[in-house]
Structure formats: structure tokens, C-alpha cells
Structure 1
Amino acid sequence: MVQRAEAVRPQQMSKGKTAYKILFIIGMCHLLNDSIQAVIPAMFPILEKSMGLSFTQLGIIAFALNIVSSILQPVIGMVTDKRPMPYALPLALAFTFVGVLMLAAAPNFEMIILSVILIGLGSAGFHPQGSRVAYMGAGQRRGLAQSIYQVGGNSGQALAPLITALILVPFGQKGAFFFSIVAAAAVGLLVYIARWYSLKLGEEQRQAKGKRTVQKRSRKVVKSVRISLILILFLIFARSWYIAGMTNFYSFFAIDKYGLTISEAQMFLFAFLVAGAVGTFFGGPLADRFGKKNIILLSMLGTLPVTVVLPFVSAAAAFFLLILSGFILMLSFSVTVVYAQELVPGKIGTMAGLTVGLAFGMGAVGSVGLGYLADIIGLPNTIILTGFLPFLGILTMFLPSDDTLESWNRQ
């Protein structure tokens, strides 16, 4: 008995020229989208003071934002793998635009929750389709295309603390109105992308006629793929839990431990996220040379010594260690996406939704859990415990090797 796994691989698309213009535009849209999404946790110190919110309430805000995106991204990925919808891209950022306006004017906790749900809906609509656009524009440079797309998103997250320090600290909650301009710019760019996307879909469909391939995988391989997919998702969750702890709560820790201002604490977070964006860019080429599994293992276990000692060092040392940990940890970001796509070939949007979207959801669960833990045992102890999360990277050793993946895809 064999398990049939239909894998319509648009390889003919990857044989064309690399559409650098499209890749940089979709990367820029990813930057704009994720900068808006990342501004919400960066606003936490401001919201805590202006509304008197507890750590648990702040965790719930992060949960509302990320769980909507995480639940819908895999669903939207599955739907668009079967039926791509180019003009859903600008529509998604229109939801984000409305959510940002509501966030800036929100008078209470409940309205903030509603506004971040809309922003989460926008993110859910953008990411799976954005990943497909990056794939279609990759030509023969699929790794480079993934790096450009993912670095755009991580750079957007890195910019959020800087923008917060420059805009939200002096202007408060009302400063969020600035990001409605960012959302409007993204909508305009995505209308252009949607037109290109529609034309490219027509070309892809014409080229794919008569070229549909059906792979047959044995039951043993199918079972191994499922176990490996669960394992890679768990590793992504562990990484997301650590990042959630840092982005949502480290600024409070730095303010208390080092006597920093909100703006100074945001600079620490900015350094962590910028280093992560740089790590994301270099992770792909390193994986091409040394193997995806090896880079994932290095990313997780290589971060562990740094994250364990981070809470106990001076402010200057902490700043350096944040840069180092951000770079090493995020080496695996784009690599895990590609690894999952090779586990289940032909499901570009679905795997993007699972590895990126669902990861945000687990970060949301982690935010609530870490916020609750901080309220019980205190923030310093919570940060210390969070530093041990990268140890779960030891599970990478049980993933199939790159050569094994290649042999499965040849069957």
C-alpha cells in the first residue's frame, strides 16, 4: 500500500528569471506589515502606564493579536494553495489600516482587543499569499527569495522599538495614528503586486498544463514526514516562546534591573531584533552550505549559553549578549520554513502558514503563560527561566537529514 501525495510543483516557474523588483516590493510590504504588528508589544510599557494594565492583560493583548493570525494563516494557506486570490493581499492590509486607527483611539482594554484582532486578520491574509509571491518571483534563486521576503518581516519587527522610542513615547497612544500611513502605503504597493500576481498565475497555469505530477510515498515515509513535521513545529514553538518573552517583557526587566528609561529599554530590544533580522538573512546561505538540519541545531543550542547568563550580567554586557543571541537564534528562521516545505512539497502557502503563522500563535500562548508566570513568581525569575527554552533545540537531532529529505522527494 502507498500513500498518494499530490505535489504540484511549479518548477517551471523557478526556471525563469528572478523578479528582483517583485521580491523587494513584497519584502517591503512584509516589513510594513510586521512593523505594525510588532508595534503592539512595543507599546506595552505605554499602555501599562496609561491604562494600568497587568502583565496578564498585556499577555492577553498579545494572545488576541497572534492567535487570530496563527489560526487563520494555515487555513488561508490551504485555501490559496488550491485557489490563489491575488487581490486578497491589499484587502488584508485594509483590515490592518482600520485596526491601527482603532488602536490609536481606543479608550479602554476591550477596544484595544478588538483593534488588535483586526490587525491579526490583516496579517493572516497577507503572509501565506506573500510567501507564494516570493516563490513565484524566485526564478532559480529560491533561497535568496526566501531570505529577502523573511528579512523584510524581521526588519519590520526590529524597527518597531525604534519607532516606538521616537514616536509613541513622545506622543503616547495617539502616535499609533502614524502607522495608518504605513498601512495605507502597504495597500498601494500590494495592489501593484496583485496585478503582477494575476498575470503570473495565468502564465503558470498555461505552463502547468499536462505537467501535473503525482508522487507516491510509502506509508513508512508518510508516517516519518508527519512525525518530522510535528517535531519541526515544536522547535519553532520553543523559539517563538523565547522571542515572545523577550519582545513582550524584557523591556520591563531592563527598566527595573538597570534603571533604564522606556526609550533606552526599547533600544536594547531594537538591538536584539536587528541582530535577528541579520541572522535571518545569513541563515539561508549557511544552510545551503552546511545543511538545514545543522543550522537549526546550531541556532538553538548555540543560543543557550548566551540566554542562560543574560539575566545576570551588567547593562553593557546584556546589550552585547542580546545582539549575539538574536543573531544566532534567528539563523534558523527562514531555514525552518524551507525545511517544512521540503517535507511537504507543493504546499507552499500551507507550510508558510504553519511554520510562520502558527509560530505566532504559540508565541501568543507563551505571552499569556509568561505574563501569568511573571505575576506569580516575579519578572526576574520569569526571564531567568525563559533563558532555558533554547535547550529544547536538542530535539533537532531526531529530525531526518537533508539527504534523507531529498531521497523521500525522489521517490
Structure 2
Amino acid sequence: MSQNQGIEYLKIGVLSLAHLLNDLYSNYLPQMLPFLVALTPGFTATRAAILVSAFTISSSLVQPLFGYFLDRQGKRWLVYVGTLWMGVMLSLTGIVHNYLLLVTLAALAGLGTAAFHPQASTMVNVLSGDRKAVLLSGFVAFGNFGFALSPLLLVPLFQAYGLRATLVTVIPGILVAILLLLYAPRNNLLVGANTPFNVVVRSLKTAGPELLAIIAVIAIRSLAYTAMLTILPLYFKSENLSNIAGSHLVTIMLASGAIGGVIGGFISDYYGRKPLIVGSLILSTPLFFGFLYTEGAVSTLFLALAGAALLSSFSVTVVAAQEAIPENKALAAGLTMGFAGGLGGLAVIFIGSIADTWGLTSAVDVIFLLPILAGLFGFFMKSHPAARTQRAAAR
């Protein structure tokens, strides 16, 4: 390995570490919810859903705009400023006592991760050379594990020191922002093709039906995922589980999902995107109900398998969208990882209303039915040859 390659891999390592922290921050607010319920009279499930949705919407819906903008001109400062901004906004959430201000901080924090993700992904792509698939997968895996670590780290912190402990969580953001300032690639490497807007619109129109099916799958899956992160901690608390025990269960689900995402990528390469997406989502619903209606180690096993099944299609749906509009890969990533996810995040408020009206158990039942609905929408996707078949035909 040459010295230049070593420096590039070091930069990818820093970007991956930053991705871990950004996604840990992205799962920050759900870990506060049981404590907010205990400390704040009248803090309902609907209020909890609105709080999480404010972050999800601002972090997701604007990502296609960032993606289109960054395809035209790279801005390296977005990765370290976005990371620091997010850390500062979230660190203030534990010391405010006004609900409207709390929601505002959540929405502002979301802009930080919306700025970070498209630019950081572009940087990894630029630095990866001929090993893009492997290194991008590693970058994504770091983010998924960061998301899974959030309940494992934050809940014990809040349990021991109260919500004022949010102030110390800005420290990792400052440190990682400094690393990004030092090691992020320079602007002259980041500028992509200056694709005319009318060409982008024409590409979207051509692939419209395919993209609509993919976006529907992602939006419903995102609704299920975000609703679980919002409602399950409250449900576990209502079932008299301690905050620590509940956080362990959420971590198991998320960590299994991170592993499932890697496995799902391999399976889709061998058998096709559509079979993996449809099959895994339909399978996850009975697995989630298996968790709900069994006990002990068997219940935990069902939860782990359900998490793996639900998130095994996470990166596969992004690739499917990029294959639908191959000339606009960054925009496809923004539409799938950002816009579609934001739609799902917005609908979480509806799940919160169900919990307040009919109870947390009813809300959990609805949430666990959502993956099978997403899988049914997957049947409207086009069937493409598996990547393995395409490679064999190219030889």
C-alpha cells in the first residue's frame, strides 16, 4: 500500500468515525423520551412523536436539495460544521423546559445531519478508488452501529446524571469536528458533474413508476422504524421494564439490523433487489409479533431476527433507486435516504395519536404490521437481473 493510499484510507476512517457519531446523534432524542415522560406532566405519546418527527423531517426532507447542490459544487465545511452544529443543538435539549423550544432545537439539529450525509458520502466515494463497494459498505456499517450504540450509551448516562447530562454530549461532536477539519478532502476533489436541471427532471419522469414504488417501500419502512424508536421505549416503560433493560432491547434490535443490512446486500447481489426487499419485509412482521407474544431468550431472539429482517433492505433500496436513475446517483440517494425517510418520519405523529387514543399496545400492533405493508408495495417494483447474473453475462 502506497503512502497516498494510506492517507486516503485514514481520511475514510475519520469520515466513518464521524458517520458513527452522526448516526448516534440521530438516535439521540428517542433515548430521552422515558425521562421526559417521567419529568414532564402531560408529556404524551403524540408530543413524543412530534419531537422525534421534527428531527427526522428536517434531517431527511432537505437531503435531496443538499445532494443536488453538492453534485454541482462540493463544500467540505459542511461535514465538520454539520457535525458540530448537530452536537451543540442536541446538547441543549436536556436543559430547556419549554416544549416548543425543545421541538425547535430538534428541528435545527436535524439540519446538521442533513448537511453531513450527502457530502461525507461523496467524500468516501471520491477517496475509495476501485474499492468503492467495500469502503462505502464500511462507511454505512459504521453509521448503523452508531445508531445501535445510542441507547446503550445515552440511557445509562441520563439514568445516572439526569437530562442535564446532555451538555457533555457535545464533547464528542467537538472532537470529531476537529478531526474532519484536519482530514476531510479538499474542495477541488468534490465537484461532480454539473447536470442541467431539465436533464434531471427528464430522468425522474422516465423512472417515475419505479421510483414511486421504491419511495413507498422506504417511507412505510421508515415509519415502522422511526415509530419503533419512539414508541417502544414508552411501551417497555409501561410494561415495567427499567430504562436500562428497555435500552438493551432496542440496542439488540438495531445492532441486528446493522448486521442484517450487510447480509441483505450480499443476498440481493445473488438473488436480486426485489426478492430481498419483498421477502425480508414480509418476514419481519411475524418475527416482531413473535417477540411480542413470547418471553425470555426466545422473545429476544425473535426481536434480533426481526430487526435484521427489517433493515436488511436498507442499503438495497438505495441501490435499487440508483439503478432506476443511473445518471443521477446522488439525487437517488437523497430521495431514498432523505426524502422518503422524512415522509415516514412525518407520519409517526399518527402513530403517537393511536397510542394516546387506544393505548401503547395498540400502537405497537399497528407498527409491527407496517413492514408487511411495505413488502406488498415492493411487488410494484420492476424485477432486474441480479448483479451476479449481470457480471456473468458481461464476461
Determine if the TM-score, normalized by the shorter chain, exceeds 0.5: yes
Relative distance call for 1:222 and 1:157 in structure 2 (3 A) is: closer
Hey, what does 2:250 align to over in structure 1?
269
Aligned counterpart, 1:291:
272
User: Structure 1 residues 360 and 171, CA, compared in 2 at 3 Å: closer, same or farther?
Assistant: farther
Alignment of 1:117-266 (within 5 A): 117-194=107-184, 196-201=185-190, 225-257=207-239, 259-266=240-247
Note the aligned Cα RMSD (angstroms). Answer: 2.7
How many angstroms does 1:402 deviate by?
Answer: 2.5
Give per-residue Cα distances to partners, 1:89-116, cap 9 Å, x unaligned: 1121232132023213212212211221
1:55 to 45, 48, 54: 45
Structure 2 CA distance for aligned equivalents of residues 185 and 18 of structure 1: 20
Superposition pairs of residues 362-373 of structure 1, within 5 angstroms? 362-373=343-354
Q: For residue 87 of structure 1, what is the aligned residue in structure 2?
A: 77
* 2-structure distance, mates of 1:189, 1:338: 30
1:127/1:352 contact within 8 Å kept: no
TM-score (normalizing by structure 2): 0.88
Q: Structure 1: how far apart are the matches of 2:164 and 2:366?
A: 35
Stretch moving more, 223-232 or 27-36? 223-232
- Cα distance in 1 for partners of 2:264, 2:130 equals 18
Query: What residue identity is the alignment partner of 1:95?
Result: W
Distance 1:362 1:201, change over 3 A: closer
Corresponding position: 1:397 with 2:387: no
Q: Following TM superposition, by how much is the alpha carbon of 1:375 offset from its aligned partner in structure 2, in angstroms? A: 0.4
Q: What is the number of equivalent residue pairs in this alignment?
A: 380
Task: Report if the CA contact (8 A) 1:78-1:350 is conserved.
Answer: yes
Residue in structure 2 matched with residue 39 of structure 1 by the alignment: 28
C-alpha distance in structure 1 between counterparts of 2:55 and 2:204, whole Å:
34
- Equivalent positions of 1:248-397 (< 5 A) are 248-257=230-239, 259-392=240-373, 393-397=375-379
Q: Verify the 8 A CA contact 2:92 2:166 in the aligned structure 1.
A: no
Shift of 1:17: 10
Could you tell me how far 1:261 is from its partner in structure 2? 0.7
In structure 2, do the counterparts of structure 1 residues 273 and 191 end up closer, same or farther at CA, with 3 Å as the change threshold?
A: same
Q: Does the aligned pair in 1 maintain the 2:49–2:352 contact within 8 Å?
A: yes
What amino acid is the match of 2:260?
G
CA distance in structure 2 between the aligned counterparts of 1:358 and 1:270, rounded to whole angstroms: 25
SS at 1:402 equivalent: coil
CA contact (8 A) 1:336 1:355 kept: yes
Tell me, yes or no, if the aligned pair for 1:71 and 1:361 is still in contact at 8 Å. Answer: yes
What residue in structure 2 maps to residue 23 of structure 1? 12
Check whether the contact 1:93–1:123 (CA below 8 A) recurs between aligned residues: yes
Distance 1:49 1:222 in 2: 47
Tell me, in whole angstroms, the C-alpha distance in 2 between the residues paired with 1:90 and 1:321: 39
Aligned-pair CA distance for 1:371: 0.6
d(CA) in 1 for partners of 2:274, 2:305: 21
Query: Per-residue deviation at 1:128?
Result: 1.1
SS in 2 for 1:67: helix
CA distance in 1, matches of 2:353, 2:44: 9
Residues 332/193 of structure 1: CA separation in 2 closer, same or farther (3 Å cut) = farther
1:10 aligns with none
Q: Given that residues 68 and 124 in structure 1 are in contact (C-alpha distance below 8 angstroms), is that contact kept between their aligned partners in structure 2?
A: yes
Q: Give the aligned residue type for 1:281.
A: V
TM-score, normalisation: structure 1: 0.85
Output one character per residue of 1:112-143: Cα deviation in whole Å (capped at 9) or x when no partner. Answer: 11221221010110111122122222322332
Change (3 A) 1:315 1:115: farther
Maintained 8 Å contact 1:127/1:353: no
Q: Could you say what secondary structure the match of 2:62 adopts?
A: helix
d(CA) in 2 for partners of 1:75 and 1:122?
14
Query: Residues 252 and 131 from structure 1, CA distance in 2 versus in 1: closer, same or farther, beyond 3 angstroms?
Result: same
Note if contact 1:146-1:334 (Cα within 8 Å) is conserved in structure 2. Answer: no
1:350-408 deviation digits (Å, cap 9, x = unpaired) = 222211122431332232111111001111011112111111202222212223998xx
Matched AA of 2:250: L
- The change in CA–CA distance for 1:351 and 1:223 in structure 2 (over 3 A counts) is closer
* Superimposed CA distance per residue, residues 166-207 of structure 1 (whole angstroms, 9 cap, x where no aligned partner): 21111111121232012112212221343x2435337x88xx
Inter-CA distance 320–404: structure 2 relative to 1 (3 Å threshold): closer
Contact 2:73 2:190 in 1 (8 A): no
Segments of 5+ residues of structure 2 without an aligned counterpart are: none
Report how far residue 19 of structure 1 moved: 4.5
Verify the 8 A CA contact 1:19 1:139 in the aligned structure 2: no
1:105–1:255 distance in 2 versus 1, CA, 3 Å:
closer
**How far, CA to CA, are the matches of 1:19 and 1:272 in structure 2?**
33
8 Å CA contact retained: 2:59, 2:114: yes
Distance 1:316 1:245 in 2: 24
